[in-house]
Amino acid sequence: MELKDDRKNRSNKSGSEDSIDSYKDFQDSLKEFQREPSNAEIMTKLEQNHRLMIFTLLITLLALALILGAGYYLYNVVNDYKTEVDAAIETMKKVDKMVEQLQADYSNYSQKIDDFFDSVETLKSYLDSLNEAISSIPSFKLPF
């Protein structure tokens, strides 16, 4: 029984010692936090912040210049392609007009050719009729 009590006392002592050490660490960090920084430390921090601000400004200006440059490049590319596309559209319109004219000419000539063959057929039928009529006369025949 005495052994168990001794262990409890030791664990209580070490637990209280740990809490005292933790409290002392907390007090030390609080004192360090509450102390006033020296002028040299303040100047060092200001210089670091100044360098950081200049670096940030330079990066921002560089990014802005890159964005503007890319925008200008894309604007020129779009204008060039727009000019080429407009020229291509005009060419397509001219080709469409030529194709329409060729189709009209083709249909016109096709109709004329059909009329010619119809006329030839009609003429052939007339000649066949004439040949039959003449061949019915026994002494007279056409050579064709």
Tell me the C-alpha distance between 78 and 90, whole Å: 18
Mean pLDDT across the chain: 84
What's the Cα-to-Cα distance from 8 to each of 13, 19, 20, 32, 132, rounded to whole Å? 8, 16, 18, 36, 147
Residue 35: phi and psi, rounded to 5, are: -75, 150
Check pLDDT > 90 for residue 120: yes
Which pLDDT belongs to residue 94? 96
Tell me the C-alpha distance between 4 and 11, whole Å: 11
Average pLDDT over residues 52-71: 98
Residues 6+ apart with CB under 8 A from 134: 140, 141, 142
Number of Cβ within 10 Å of residue 131's Cβ equals: 13
Tell how many helices (H) and how many strands (E) occur in the chain: 2, 0
**Could you report the per-residue pLDDT of 5-52, keeping only the tens digit for each?**
544 544 554 556 677 788 888 777 777 777 787 888 889 999 999 999
Q: How confident is residue 1, by pLDDT bands cut at 50, 70 and 90?
A: very low
